[in-house]
Structure formats: structure tokens, C-alpha cells
Amino acid sequence: MRETAAERWSRRVILTLLSAFVLIPLYVMLTTALKPLRDVRDSFTWIPARPTFEAFVDMWSTVPLGRYLVNSLIVSTAAAVLSVAIAILAAYATSRWRFRGRSVFLASALSTQMFPGILFLLPLFLIYVNIGNATGIELYASRTGLVITYLTFSLPFSIWMLVGYFDAIPRELDEAAAVDGAGPMRILFRVLLPTAVPGILAVTVYAFMTAWGEVLFASVMTDENTRTVAVGLSGYSTQYDVYWNQIMAASLVVSVPVVAAFLFLQKYFVAGLTAGAVK
Amino acid sequence: MTTTVSAPDVAPSDAEPSPPRKRRRRPSLPYLLLVPAIVLELAVHVLPMLTGVWMSLRELTQFQIRDWSSAPFVGLDNYRVTLDFNSAIGKELLHSFWVTIAYTVLVVGLAWVIGLAAAVVLQRPFRGRALLRTLFLTPYALPVYTAVITWSFLLQRDTGALNHVLVDQLGLVDDRPFWLIGGNSFWSLVLVSVWRCWPFAFLCLMAGLQSVPQDLYEAAYMDGAGFWRRLRAVTLPMLRPVNQVLLLVLFLWTFNDFNTPYVLFGKGAPDEADLISIHIYESSFVTWNFGLGSAMSVALLLFLSVVSGLYLFLTRKARSDA
């Protein structure tokens, strides 16, 4: 099937436009981080006249970025690891057994995705405050509360992706292991988990990203000590000045590791989507 | 950001392989494996939702919040106030509902078209394809607040890149326009949201295209079908299952979007870009009227359930008719 000249040229035009669309904000993020504040304040320039790393140094003291980063790391890692662990169990059950209520479980897990976060925010806020008053277990404004909340956000999607990966693993492998005398949990750990490692990693990164990027709950359910980066970045705008160069520098520091991990694992992500979506 | 693309087959298409004998003796195991997931979903999704319904039937302002379980029962009063479109509160809600609908339709439509164009154009192998694919996924991988903050910098009136290009470089406009307040703010919001969303459409459509057999294209090509004809007769029908789920997911996300306007405009979105989730947030946490906020939330949930249910019903019907 030959490509016509018109097709080739439209392809080039589309790809150029899209690349520019994607790249311009990324370019501005990078170059602004390399400008001194007085250059950002006056007017926009495409090329930094006096490139400097000063923003990358100052950003740590303008705002307690280090503390916010630690909070984000703890909360996101805990939420990702727990959510994937719980999803693995649920996905194993859903992939390997036909039990009563199986499709109801899948459908209702998914339907939670349709609710706006704002719907849970007020009641959860009150529930957390009440649990704190009644039992002394601090959930409101604590990292634990955020972890519990975030892990349920990524849980349904993690379950669905993992069911896709597990379904792709031939049952003959399970059966062979069963013949060798392996029980169900042994089959999970010895057969399914090792085979699905790339998929599990992709889902973990997804769960991490969900928590890392969450704004709504982070803005209501944290205090000065537990604040995450998602909210912390707003600290760079004061009523006197907006430290755009530091905001961009901090944004880069916050984004680069997540983006790199995602892009590195993206082909497993696509594989998971295909497994789920096309069958 | 939470995503769902599609259900793995609920019923396996081939004959059920008989489970190994060991498993049959423990029919309780699958349920045990589900317990943690179910408990958490109940605790963080179902219980708060029920609490939300309960709250929507109470008078719950900052005066009752300390002792909220004893807030006075007011029946459907909150709903009456919320949905009375002649009152100020109802009018504002209706306004932000329409803003949200317009926003959703534009964002979903544009994100889908751009995602499809990119996926189709990247279907054929060429040098640099892998690099572009990776580049196009970057906006999706960026944490929402860093992406949106960068856009808000681009859209600043005096120091932003957009006005620099429009006013200083091209001289198209004399007065520096405001992009984050007034009527333009709606379009800014759409632009930023499309930038963030289209890579997800691209990702799903690309995944969907991988399963289209190449011979279908060859056959259509032999029959003399041009590009548009092949798109209509081969690509789009093959993408239908992906599209059905993708469009629903994009719709729900965009309709419920809170992060983009919240980060783009800070506290207090302009009227022209007052999305419904922001509106509920402000009605609840700024004016501290939780009862009204809950009533709005429940009404919103009912609306979304009806729309999603109808959509699923229609697409399923279309599928079984086909």
C-alpha cells in the first residue's frame, strides 16, 4: 500500500503542529526555570538572556519544598504499593474464578470512577474529623488519611488492568503448577506475578501518578506539616510577587522522575489497554 | 487522575476450562481475595456517598459542623433551593451546568479528533515514530498542577508567551488581552484541558489500532479506496469498541474536572469558566453551606448516572443490532 504525496505531506504538517503544541509549554517550563527572576518579571523572552541555576537553589528556601516532596513521596509510594497489592489479590480472583457476583464487583468498582471527587470530599472530611474525635486516630490532615483516600482512587483501574494482564497468561501454566501440588496462593506468587512483572510495574507507576498529581483532597485534607507538593507549589505566589522561575524549576523537579518512569513503561501500558479494550 | 478504558471480557469466549480440583474445594477463596478491595471501596466511596445523601437532607452550615450528626432534618429543602432556577443559587448552578456542558463537549470532541489524527498518522512506520509517540504522551504523564501552572504562566497578560507572540511579535492585537479573567478564560480553560487530555485519547486509539489487521487496509486499497474511505470503512468501525469506552471516560473526567480550573484560576474561577465541581466546592468550603453543597452533589450524581446509563444502554443496543 503506497503512501500518496498528499498523505505524506499531511502527515508532516499534523506531526509538526502537534509537536509544537506539546513542546511549547515544556520548553517554556525549562527556559523559565533557567532565568533570573528580574528577567521573568519584565516581559517574555523565548531565549534566556542570562541563564542561571539560581531558581533551582532558591526554590528550596522560598517554600519548604523539601518537606512537601517528602510528604508527596511517602503518601504516593504507600498509596501505590498498597493499591497494587490489594488489586493483585482482587484481579487474581476475578481472572481465575467464575464466582457469583463477579461481574457486579467489576462493574461497581468501575462505576466509582464516574463520581466527581467533590462528592466524596465533604463527607470524607466529616467522617475523618469524627473518627479523630471519637477514637483519637488522626485521619484528617494526616498522611494516613491521604494514603487511604488515594489508594482507592487508583484501585479500580489497577484491578481492571491487572485482570487484563492475568487473563493473557495461559491457564496451562496454573494447571501445570497445580499438578505439581501448588496451592492457589503459591500459583499466584510463583506463576502469575513473575510473568506479569512489566504490567504490575506499569500499574504501580499509574497508581503513583494518580497520587502524585492529586490536588483536590490534598488542598483540603492536609495541614502545614502534611502538605504535598501539589498544594505546596502555590506557596511560590505571594501577594507581592510570583516566583515564576522557581515555580518552573520546582515543577521540573517534581515532574521529571514521574514522566520518565511513565514513558519508560508506556509500552506495557498500551499493552494493558489493548488487552482490556479490544477483546 | 483515574482512568478506565474497558472491561476485560466478563464472560470468557471460549469454553470454560474446568478449574483444577484443588480450587473447587475452596469456593470461599475468591471472595476472601476481594475483601480488602471491597472494604476500602465501601469506606472511601460508598460510605461517604451515603453520608452525602444524608447531609443533603440536613441544614448543615458552619454552625452545625462541630456537632454535625445532630444537624436539623430539613427534608428536600436543600434540593428545592438548589434546583429552583429562579432563585439566585439555582440560577448560578444552572449557569455553571451549561458552562460545564459546553466545556465538556468541546474538550472531548477536540481531544478525540486530535488523538485520532495522531494515532492514524503514526500507524505507518517511519523514522522518528517512537520518539514522537513518547513526546505525545508527555502531557498525560505530567502531574496536572505542573502542567496547568505552566499554562497559566503562558497565559499571563503582561509576562506570558501568548501575548508576547500576539502583541509584540505579530502585532495582531493592540491591547494586551486578559486570558485568565473575563470571556477569554473559558477558551483558555478549554485549551489547557485539551492539551492535557488528547494524549490519553491518542494512547487508547493507538492501542486500538494495533489490533486492526493490515490485510483489511490492503484489501480496501486494492478495491481503490482512498484515505478517507479507508478511515470510514476500516479504521472507525474497528475502533468502535475502544471509542465507546473512551468517549464515556473522557466525558466523565472532563465533566468532573476540578484540577484544571482550580490550578489555572486559583481560588475563585471567573464566571465564564465556573465549572460545576468548582461551583460545588465554593458553595461548600467558601460559604460553608455543606447541606446545599451535598444536594448539588447528589443532583450531579443522578445526572451523571442517567447519562452514563443511557449511553451504555444505547451503545450496547447498537452493538447487538449490528
Mean pLDDT of chain B: 85
Written as nine digits, the cell of A46 is: 523565548
Beta strands in chain B (DSSP E): none
pLDDT at A7: 84
What is the residue-averaged pLDDT of chain A? 89
* Rounded percentage of chain B residues whose pLDDT exceeds 90: 34
Query: Is A200 buried (19+), middle (13-18) or exposed (0-12) by CB count in 10 A?
Result: buried
Cross-chain CB nearest to B52 (options A122, A179, A215): A122
Q: Which residue has the cell 484481579?
A: A91
What is the pLDDT at residue A6? 85
Nearest to A279 among B9, B68, B159 (CB): B9
Higher pLDDT, A230 or B13: A230
Instruction: Look at A93 and B29 and tell me if their CB atoms are within 8 Å.
Output: yes
The CB density around residue A275, as the number of other CB atoms within 10 Å, is 23
Task: Tell me which chain A residues have a C-beta less than 8 angstroms from the C-beta of B8.
Answer: 95, 160, 163-164, 167, 275-276, 279
Q: How confident is the model at residue B7 (pLDDT cuts 50, 70, 90)?
A: very low
Q: Is A133 on the interface with B (CB under 8 A)?
A: no
Using 50, 70 and 90 to split pLDDT, how confident is the model at A274? low
User: For the residues A190-197, what does the mean pLDDT come to?
Assistant: 90
Task: Please report the pLDDT score of residue A1 as a whole number.
Answer: 67
Which residues make Cβ contacts (< 8 Å) with residue A89, sequence separation at least 6?
B33, B34, B36, B37
Percentage of chain B beyond pLDDT 70 is: 89
> Bridge-partner residues for B73, per DSSP?
B58
Rounded CA-CA distance B267/B41 in Å is 30
Distance (Å, rounded) from C-alpha A194 to C-alpha A165?
Answer: 12
What pLDDT band is residue A81 in, cutting at 50, 70 and 90?
Answer: very high
CA B199 to chain centre: 13
Segment A250-271 shows an average pLDDT of: 88
ipTM: 0.90
Query: A interface mutation test: which of B153, B279, B292 has the most A CBs within 10 A?
Result: B153
Q: Which pLDDT does position A76 carry in this prediction?
A: 95
pLDDT, greater one: B158 or A22: A22
Most confident of A16-30, A104-118, B41-55, B75-89: A16-30
pLDDT at B322: 58
Q: At what angle do helices B129-141 and A5-33 cross, to 10 degrees?
A: 50
Q: Cβ–Cβ of B150/A278 closer than 8 Å?
A: no
State which residue of chain B sits closest to A7, comparing Cα positions: B227
Q: Which residue among A22, A25, A40 sits closest to B154, beta carbon to beta carbon?
A: A25
The pLDDT score that the predictor gives to residue A250 is: 95
Residue B144 pLDDT greater than 80, yes or no: yes
Q: Would the pTM count as exceeding 0.80? A: yes
pLDDT > 90: what percent of chain A? 49
Contacts with B, A 148-177, CB within 8 Å: 148-149, 151-157, 159-160, 163-164, 167, 171, 174-175
The CA-atom distances, in angstroms, between A243 and each of A62, A205, A209, A247, B145 are: 9, 30, 25, 6, 16
What part of A 12-71 touches B (C-beta under 8 Å)?
14-15, 18-19, 21-26, 28-29, 32, 40-46
Supply A80's cell numbers.
Answer: 501505590
Instruction: Considering only the beta carbons, identify the residue of B49, B51, B136 that sits closest to A126.
Output: B51
- Reported as a single tens digit per residue, the pLDDT across B227-239 is 888 888 889 988 9
pLDDT in tens, A93-148: 999 988 888 888 888 887 887 788 888 888 888 888 888 888 888 888 889 899 99
pLDDT of residue A205: 92
Read off the pLDDT of each residue in A64-84 and give the average, rounded to a whole number: 95
Contact flag B40-A254 (C-beta cutoff 8 Å): no
B303 vs A268, which has greater pLDDT?
B303
Query: Sign of the CA dihedral A68, A72, A73, A78?
Result: positive
Per the CB < 8 Å rule, is A148 touching B144? no
Which of B320 and B72 is assigned the larger pLDDT?
Answer: B72
- Mean pLDDT of the A157-167 span: 89
**pLDDT of B319:** 67
Region of residue B91 (phi > 0: left; psi between -120 and 50: alpha; otherwise: beta)? alpha
Judged against a pLDDT cut of 90, whether residue A254 lies above it is answered with yes
pLDDT class of B69 with cuts at 50, 70, 90:
confident
Helices and strands of chain A, counted as H and E runs: 14, 0
Backbone φ and ψ of A201, nearest 5°: -60, -45
